[in-house]
Amino acid sequence: METTLLLKAYLKKLRLPTVGRDFPKIAEEAVKTNLPYDRYLLALLEQEVLQREENALKMRLKRANFPVLKTLETFDFGASASLNKQKVLQLAEGRWIQAAENVILVGNSGVGKTHIAVALGIAACRKECSVRFFPLAKLVTLLLEAQAQHALSRMERQLERVDLLILDELGYVPFSKTGAELIFGIIASRYERRSVLVTTNMEFSLWPEVFAGERMTAALVDRLTHKSHILSMSGESYRFKQSHQKILGIPATNGSNPVDSLRAADILAPSAGA
């Protein structure tokens, strides 16, 4: 009894809560199975390490602030003809983040840009990287607020430390000059030091409209695209495809798209008869 109390006190002091929780149960099993002392210790420490890794992953996912938790497992590459699956799987390995490279996902609305951005972010969390996800317009608002409260440099320092910064939806809504300058500052400070992932529905030639002016946009695009992986995701909107399938009475599937095969059959049938 006294042993148990002392053990609990020491384990608490040493911050080994999982060992503290599991040692009576694992000790009982060890007696039953004649487990050697070192194997008993190993089993206990393994539990502690696994629990810590799980807690750390949960914390990284929480801090990343993803809008949804979507992974590559639920992404239907068959429905996204233009996206290079091998390239995405390779990016999920995370070496681009170690090399401080960038990823730019370009494509129209509904093609899965946010889905892939989140999935790569989650993959990065699994590789023990720190990640922050922002809809770009939201980050601009937060930076402007921080500036008004004289807390800008603190926020900038916090963002600088993050391994991967995900900026979602660089779109048609232009920023104020100050907003554009703040975003430029964030991206410039990460150049060749830390990774940025940007999703956008606009080709680079249209970016000056968003970033208030040619010169700053040119400098920004320069920094962002140097050492970057640009993935094109153009195609039909996945949302649109799914609602289209519902209208046609075809159940949505995760495999090949029945709407596509229907069209292919329609097109092929007459020529096959001719």
**Identity of the residue, 166 or 187, whose beta carbon is nearer to ligand ADP in the bound complex:** 166
Residue-wise DSSP of 141-178: HHHHHHHHTT-HHHHHHHHHH-SEEEEEEE-S-PPPHH
**Identity of the residue, 4 or 74, whose beta carbon is nearer to ligand ADP in the bound complex:** 74
CB of 118 to ligand ADP, least distance (A): 8
Could you tell which of ligand ADP, Mg ion, none binds residue 76, using a CB distance below 5 to 8 A set by kind? ligand ADP
**Identity of the residue, 60 or 113, whose beta carbon is nearer to Mg ion in the bound complex:** 113
Site string for ligand ADP, 191-230 (x = CB under 6 A): ----------------------------------------
For residue 120, count CB atoms less than 10 angstroms from its CB and return exposed for 0-12, middle for 13-18, buried for 19 or more: buried
Contact by Cβ (8 Å): 133, 66: yes
Task: Report the chain's C-alpha Rg in angstroms.
Answer: 25
CB of 248 to Mg ion, least distance (A): 25
170: contact with ligand ADP by CB under 6 A: no
Residues binding Mg ion: what is the number (CB under 5 A)? 2
Which amino acid is located at 164 in the chain? L
Which amino acid is located at 158 in the chain? Q
**Identity of the residue, 24 or 67, whose beta carbon is nearer to ligand ADP in the bound complex:** 67
Could you tell which of Mg ion, ligand ADP, none binds residue 94, using a CB distance below 5 to 8 A set by kind? none
**Identity of the residue, 44 or 196, whose beta carbon is nearer to ligand ADP in the bound complex:** 196
201: contact with Mg ion by CB under 5 A: no
First to last CA, the chain: 90
Binding positions for Mg ion, 98-137, rule CB under 5 A: 113-114
Of 251, 233, 239, whose CA–CA distance to 80 is shortest?
Answer: 233
Contact by Cβ (8 Å): 234, 80: no
Contact region with ligand ADP (CB under 6 A), list: 91-99, 110-118, 158-166, 186-194 = 110-118
CB of 204 to Mg ion, least distance (A): 18
Torsion of the alpha carbons at 232, 233, 236 and 241, rounded to the nearest 10: 170
**Identity of the residue, 206 or 218, whose beta carbon is nearer to ligand ADP in the bound complex:** 206
Binding positions for ligand ADP, 22-81, rule CB under 6 A: 70, 75-76, 79-80
For residue 199, count CB atoms less than 10 angstroms from its CB and return exposed for 0-12, middle for 13-18, buried for 19 or more: buried
What is the layout of strands, in order, in the sheet containing 102-106?
131-135, 164-170, 195-200, 102-106, 228-232
**Identity of the residue, 79 or 187, whose beta carbon is nearer to ligand ADP in the bound complex:** 79
Of 248, 195, 231, 260, whose CA–CA distance to 115 is shortest?
Answer: 231
112: contact with ligand ADP by CB under 6 A: yes
Site residues (CB under 6 A) for ligand ADP? 70, 75-76, 79-80, 107, 109-115, 238-239
